[in-house]
Structure 1
Amino acid sequence: MSADEAARLVRQLAGAVPVEVLDPGAKGSDVGDERERRLTALGRFRAALDAEEMVSDAAGRQSAAVAEETVWLGASLADLSSVTGRSRQAARKRWPELGSVYRRRKWLGDHVEDIGYLAELLASRADDLVPGRGHGTFMKLIGQLRAGLRRCEADFAPDAQDRADPAGRWRALDDLVNVTMRQIIEMAGKPANPEADFALHGARGVLAYYDHATAEER
């Protein structure tokens, strides 16, 4: 969007909703209906300020969303800096959540197959890990795990480069590990056999590795 287009958008937004402001009163130098016109102009000024803030907020949210999508697609803060012309520290300060996204995306990118294998193993031993209480909730989580695995298989298939939301595959994989697997591990009962114990132990290992690798740098 050019500067002229942005200015035109602000004018349109400012003129869309009349804004009432306090009348400062008559001035000794008023000519004709200048008091009335001044009050109208002050209302337009207030509306323009409101529109400016609204556009700025919307642009900021859009920038943040695109920055996050870019990092989910593998960009680093250095890559963002090359576009903004500012330092990585400046990017980190403006979008503090991107450091976490970068660490998660980096770890996930190196462990897609490991996650799939251990999540599948955990799902296959679900009946042997059912807790004493909350059977329905636990099995619902297992259903979510299996659905996440199906999506993962589709998202990372050889022909998946044609998918409409390539960044979404990484968000979904992160959710599979950080939300679904974590909840299953926390809720699981005592393993009924060595195979179930192995599956739960492996899943715990993946989650511990994830937590270590994605922890905030000190």
Structure 2
Amino acid sequence: MGVDEARRAVRRLADAVEVEVLDPGPKSSDVGDEQQRRLVALGRFRAALEAEKLVVAAAGAQTAEAAAEAVWLGASLADLSAITGRSRQAARKRWPELGAIHRRRRWLGNHVDDIIHMAGRLAQRADDLAPTWAEGTYRKLVRHLREGLRRCETDFAPDAYDADRPAQRWRDLDDLVNVTLRELIELSGEPASPEAAFALHGATGVLVYYDHATAETPDE
């Protein structure tokens, strides 16, 4: 898209914005219907300003989304700086959420197999960890865990590729650990077998490691 095409798109957006402006009244230099023409022009100016705000906000959101997508796919702040031509500190200041994404992605990337293995053990022994209360919620979490594991096995297969959402598998894996696994561990009851106790201990270890590795450090 060139500049002219972008201008036309913004103009169409401005035309769609509904605004009201006060008529400043007649001017001594008005000729004919110039007061009405001026009011229309002021309305267009107001609409252009509103369209500008919308474009800036939308562009900012799109840029932030693209930056996050790149970091979920393993890009570092240095990689982003090479694109923006500004420092890593500038990227960190503009998109403060990228630091957390980078830490989570880096840890997840090094522990895909560990997560699937230990979460799988927990799913296998879930019946022996059922609590005496909130059993319905517990069963729902177990179902979510098993569904998440099946999705991970598909998403992280050697030939897996999602052209439309290339980073979604990392978001899903993070959600599996940080939400589903965490809530399931918190809700689990006393283990009814040594195997269940081992599965719970292993899954808890994964979560503790995740929390430690993804915590913000003082220099960040």
* 1:23-102 equivalence runs, <5 A: 23-102=23-102
* Secondary structure at the counterpart of residue 192 of structure 1: coil
Q: Confirm or deny: 8 A CA contact 1:128 1:192 kept in the other structure.
A: yes
* 1:117-132 equivalence runs, <5 A: 117-132=117-132
Residue 151 of structure 1 corresponds to: 151
Distance 1:163 1:122, change over 3 A: farther
Q: CA deviation at 1:171?
A: 0.6
One-letter amino acid matched to 1:23: D
Separation in structure 1 between the aligned mates of residue 166 and residue 7 of structure 2, nearest angstrom: 34
Separation in structure 1 between the aligned mates of residue 176 and residue 102 of structure 2, nearest angstrom: 17
* Secondary structure at the counterpart of residue 46 of structure 1: helix
Q: CA deviation at 1:80?
A: 0.7
TM-score normalised by the chain length of structure 2: 0.95
- CA RMSD across the alignment: 1.3
Separation in structure 1 between the aligned mates of residue 85 and residue 114 of structure 2, nearest angstrom: 37
Distance 1:150 1:15, change over 3 A: same
Report the number of matched residues: 218
Q: CA deviation at 1:166?
A: 2.5
One-letter amino acid matched to 2:70: T
Residue 173 of structure 1 corresponds to: 173
Residue 16 of structure 1 corresponds to: 16
Residue 137 of structure 2 corresponds to: 137
Kindly, what percent of the aligned residue pairs are identical? 69
Q: CA deviation at 1:125?
A: 0.7
Q: CA deviation at 1:16?
A: 2.7
One-letter amino acid matched to 2:12: Q
Separation in structure 2 between the aligned mates of residue 217 and residue 29 of structure 1, nearest angstrom: 66
One-letter amino acid matched to 1:22: L
Q: CA deviation at 1:17?
A: 4.0
Q: Confirm or deny: 8 A CA contact 2:17 2:51 kept in the other structure.
A: no
Separation in structure 2 between the aligned mates of residue 175 and residue 16 of structure 1, nearest angstrom: 39
Q: Which stretches in structure 1 are left out of the alignment for 5+ residues?
A: none
Separation in structure 2 between the aligned mates of residue 32 and residue 84 of structure 1, nearest angstrom: 52
Q: CA deviation at 1:73?
A: 0.6
Q: Confirm or deny: 8 A CA contact 1:18 1:43 kept in the other structure.
A: no
Q: CA deviation at 1:18?
A: 4.8
Query: Which structure 1 residue ranges, 4+ long, deviate > 4 Å from structure 2?
Result: none
Q: Could you give the per-residue CA deviations for residues 142-199 of structure 1, whole angstroms, max 9, x where no partner exists? A: 1110001101111111111466432111111101100000000000001112111111
Q: Which stretches in structure 2 are left out of the alignment for 5+ residues?
A: none
